[in-house]
Copies of this chain bind each other. A is one copy, B any other.
Amino acid sequence: MAPPLHVAFCGVTEGPWRVERIAAVIGEGLPPAPSLSVIEGDAPAPERSAWVLRGVTGHERYTTAAERTRLRARETPLGRSEATRAALIPIRKSPEWWALAQDERRTIFEERSRHIGIGLEYLPAVARRLHHGRDLGEPFDFLTWFEYPAAASDAFEELVSRLRATAEWRYVDREVDIRLSRSG
């Protein structure tokens, strides 16, 4: 389906992804749920979801054409059979972040924090899809979904720690970290 693709991440009793842990990294966490379902497009979220987080994919907000060429050369799709681990990391950024102009946000995002550059180092092992929730009135501004093979677990931890140490992350005022593995 062409973007923008609406996606609902649902905390459910039974689903294709088993929840290994839900950690509140910054601010309020999320209630526990045994499994996660990812619903794309217009299909309704399961009725008895413990929580539903919504976002929408779309055009790139900061990536330049040159950066995109480097990303496209290395990135891998979602749904690889060897990618048995996943993470959903919902974050909200502060009012100070959203009050910055585009060039100021870009400078913090890449020139100072190397968000794209760091991510590139973990391709092709870690596949990634970003969903925007801010315009939908959702509690989180961004939902990033990652899929990776078990062998890349240490690399993934490193990626997450490096991003959390950046100047950009000082503008994150809520972050939850949900780790998953494929059910069955």
The residues of A with any CB-CB pair to B shorter than 8 Å are 2-4, 6, 56, 58-65, 67-68, 95, 98-106, 132, 134-137
Residue of B nearest to A105 (CB): B59
Task: List B contacts of A63 (CB < 8 A).
Answer: 101-102
Cα A63 to Cα B68 in complex, Å, equals 21
* B137 engages A103 (CB within 8 Å): no
CA distance A3 to B97 in the complex (A): 13
Among A2, A6, A98: residue with most chain B CB under 10 A = A98
> Across the two chains, which residue of chain B brings its CB closest to A69?
B101
Q: Which of B6, B68, B98, B100 contacts A3 (CB 8 A)?
A: B98
CB of A119, distance to nearest CB on chain B (Å): 15
Q: List 23 A-B contacts (CB under 8 A).
A: A3-B98, A56-B135, A56-B137, A58-B134, A58-B135, A59-B98, A59-B99, A59-B100, A60-B101, A60-B102, A61-B61, A61-B102, A62-B102, A63-B101, A63-B102, A64-B103, A64-B104, A65-B101, A65-B103, A102-B106, A135-B135, A135-B136, A136-B136
**With A59-B98, A98-B59 given, is the CB distance from A137 to B4 under 8 Å?**
yes
What residues on B are CB-neighbors of A59 within 8 Å?
98-100, 105
Q: Chain B CB within 10 Å — which of A64, A68, A102 has the most? A: A102
A138 to chain B, nearest CB (A): 10
Distance to closest chain B CB from A116 (angstroms):
11
A134 near B101: Cβ-Cβ < 8 Å: no
